[in-house]
């Protein structure tokens, strides 16, 4: 038997469809039949921007993956037949940093579509220890009030869990104001998660369509393209004051992955603020780092999400507290090259999901 996969052979060259033998899972591994695999900004970085993958090309990209376990290796028998989400970053669980609950920086972590073959394929082999179990009915439809499909749940593997990790790291509570700069996939879902935590949520973007799509899920939106930064900061501060919220300790999440967004996020620092850098860009920014000192503020990067946070993130979706379906769109896997171009040129608002 064979599996279908779309391989990246070199940057900016169309991915090639190949038929490969279906591999056998080894010790502690499972073979997953892919239900869906989301298209992430990181995939675009590999494909268009020359960001290097850790594995040599050709490589199957894709790290937002859900599916059903078809076969298991020794030690993974409990996963047979289960619907699961594969964490985008899978720490080893046994090294020093993993034992100290810092698996995000595990030096031997496995990321599909980077360290190992990814999810733009009909099947994938992955370690079993970090899988997130999805409760389903007899037809592998996820249980709960959301009505989402297993394929749609694939984006939890990054677009939702990554901001969830950032929100947990920030110490966000219901007494806080959360500010998201860039509300595409990651930022839009992050804003919803922060709202579910009880925070007052401000969304900032330069795309009015994205702001309009998210407006009913947050407290206020601002289009940074329509006003100078000084006016934007004044508007944000005025809104916080009008809500009776703290003028200090804002939780700022840079989720645009752009130099302009990063500069805006840094410029919004206030006393005791926490800046979380979630988005990625190869560009550099010119900032006055001493602002962190002057405001007694903190800045922290965010790489993926610990597997332990996947179940509570999944619960937010299945309970309907975070809406998924309005912000995703599925496509046949055979259209992957066309979809990459569409996403790259920002011609789609939703998170694209490739379905084998």
Report, as an integer, the average pLDDT of 317-342: 97
**DSSP sequence for 118-153:** -SSBSEEEEESTT-EE--B-TTSPBPSSS---TTGG
**Nearest of 209, 300, 287, 185 to residue 252 by alpha carbon:** 300
Q: State yes or no: pLDDT of 139 exceeds 90.
A: no
Distance CA 75, CA 29 (A): 8
At residue 11's C-alpha, the angle toward residues 109 and 18, to 5°, is 80
Output the CATH code of domain 2-158+305-355: 3.90.180.10
Query: Taking a C-beta distance cutoff of 8 angstroms, is the pair 252, 179 a contact?
Result: yes
pLDDT digits (tens, 9 = 90+) for 254-308: 999 999 999 999 999 999 999 999 999 889 999 999 999 999 999 999 999 999 9
Residue ranges, comma separated, of all CATH 3.90.180.10 domains in the chain are 2-158+305-355
Instruction: Report the CATH number of the 161-301 domain.
Output: 3.40.50.720
Mean pLDDT of the chain: 96
Range scoring the smallest mean pLDDT among 51-55, 69-73, 199-203: 51-55
Placement of tokens 């090639």 in the chain: 16
Q: Which long-range contacts (CB under 8 A, 24 or more apart) does 52-57 make?
A: 53/113, 53/114, 54/111, 54/114, 54/115, 55/114, 55/115, 55/116, 55/117, 57/7, 57/8, 57/9, 57/10
| pLDDT, tens digit (0-9, with 9 covering 90-100), for 143-194 | 988 899 999 999 999 999 999 999 999 999 999 999 999 999 999 999 999 9
Domain with CATH 3.40.50.720 in the chain: 161-301
Burial class (CB in 10 A: 0-12, 13-18, 19+), 84: buried
Q: CA 214, CA 196: separation in Å to the nearest integer? A: 14
Specify the pLDDT at position 152: 98
Half-sphere exposure of residue 301, counting CA atoms within 13 Å on the CB side? 7
Average of per-residue pLDDT across 25-49 = 96
- The CA-atom distances, in angstroms, between 263 and each of 184, 233, 271 are 18, 12, 17
The answer to whether residue 1 scores a pLDDT higher than 90 is no
What does the pLDDT look like over 205-251, one tens digit per residue? 999 999 999 999 999 999 999 999 999 999 999 999 999 999 999 99
């Amino acid at each position: 038997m064979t599996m279908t996969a779309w391989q990246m052979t070199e940057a900016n060259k169309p991915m090639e469809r190949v038929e490969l033998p279906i591999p056998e899972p080894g010790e502690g591994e499972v073979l997953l039949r892919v239900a869906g695999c989301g298209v992430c900004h990181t995939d675009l970085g590999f494909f268009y921007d020359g960001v290097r993958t850790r594995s040599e090309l050709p490589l199957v990209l894709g790290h937002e993956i859900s599916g059903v376990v078809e076969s298991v290796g020794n030690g993974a028998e409990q996963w047979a037949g289960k619907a699961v989400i594969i964490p985008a970053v899978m720490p080893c669980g046994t090294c020093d940093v993993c034992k100290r609950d810092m698996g995000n920086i595990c030096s031997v972590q496995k990321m599909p579509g980077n360290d190992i073959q990814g999810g733009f394929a009909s099947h994938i082999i992955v370690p079993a220890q970090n899988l997130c179990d999805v409760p389903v009915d007899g037809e592998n439809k996820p249980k709960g009030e959301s009505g989402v499909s297993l394929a749609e749940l694939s984006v939890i593997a990054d677009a939702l869990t990554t901001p969830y990790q950032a929100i947990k790291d920030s110490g966000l509570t219901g007494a806080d104001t959360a500010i998201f700069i860039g509300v595409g996939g990651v930022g839009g879902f992050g804003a919803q998660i922060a709202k579910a935590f009880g925070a007052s949520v401000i969304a900032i973007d330069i795309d009015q369509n994205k702001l309009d799509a998210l407006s009913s899920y947050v407290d206020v939106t601002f289009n940074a393209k329509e006003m100078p930064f000084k006016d934007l900061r004044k508007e944000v501060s005025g809104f916080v004051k009008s809500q009776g919220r703290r003028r200090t300790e804002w939780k700022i999440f840079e989720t645009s992955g752009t130099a302009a967004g990063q500069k805006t996020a840094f410029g919004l620092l206030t006393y005791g603020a926490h800046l979380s850098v979630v988005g990625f860009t190869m560009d550099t920014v010119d900032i006055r780092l001493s602002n962190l000192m002057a405001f007694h503020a903190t800045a922290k990067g965010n790489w993926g999400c610990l597997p332990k946070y996947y179940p509570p993130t999944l619960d937010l979706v299945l309970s309907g507290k975070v809406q998924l379906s309005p912000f995703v769109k599925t496509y046949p896997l055979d259209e992957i090259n066309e979809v990459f171009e569409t996403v790259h040129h920002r011609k789609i608002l939703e998170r694209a999901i490739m379905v084998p």
